[in-house]
Structure 1
Amino acid sequence: MAHVANNAPAVGASLASLVRAKAEELAARYAKWRLYRRTLRELSALDNRDLADLGLSRASLRSVAWHAVYDN
């Protein structure tokens, strides 16, 4: 009679770890989105002269905020 070893984790354990990993991923994505919104809000609060001093225009604020947060 042959003996077969089953080293696979229980289905419930792997499902729980999958759900936990997905929840952590969503939390990280939400945190980055909040940082993007905060960065955009702070840049938008600057007046046109301050933006010009930084070499920015109002039209570029979304792009600048996105690159500041997501291009790391």
Structure 2
Amino acid sequence: MSATPSPSPSAAVPMPAGAPSWVTADLIAHTLRVWQRYYAEPLKPEDALAMIVGVSKLNRVISEGSGA
């Protein structure tokens, strides 16, 4: 007996407008799952995108500053 696969968690997560091509619906969904517990208000995909892009920028600044 095989189990019916559950829908992808990103299936119901719309991609925010203007998202870079490397940001996927799965990454948005994962970010929402991880961070929602720390916020009283429901997070939106746009919030997740802002977090992802912010971390990307921080990583770039740190990498450039270390001479890497």
TM-score normalised according to structure 2 size:
0.37
Higher RCO (Cα < 8 Å, 6 or more apart)? 1
Q: In proportion to residue count, which structure has more helix? A: 1
Structure showing greater Rg: 1
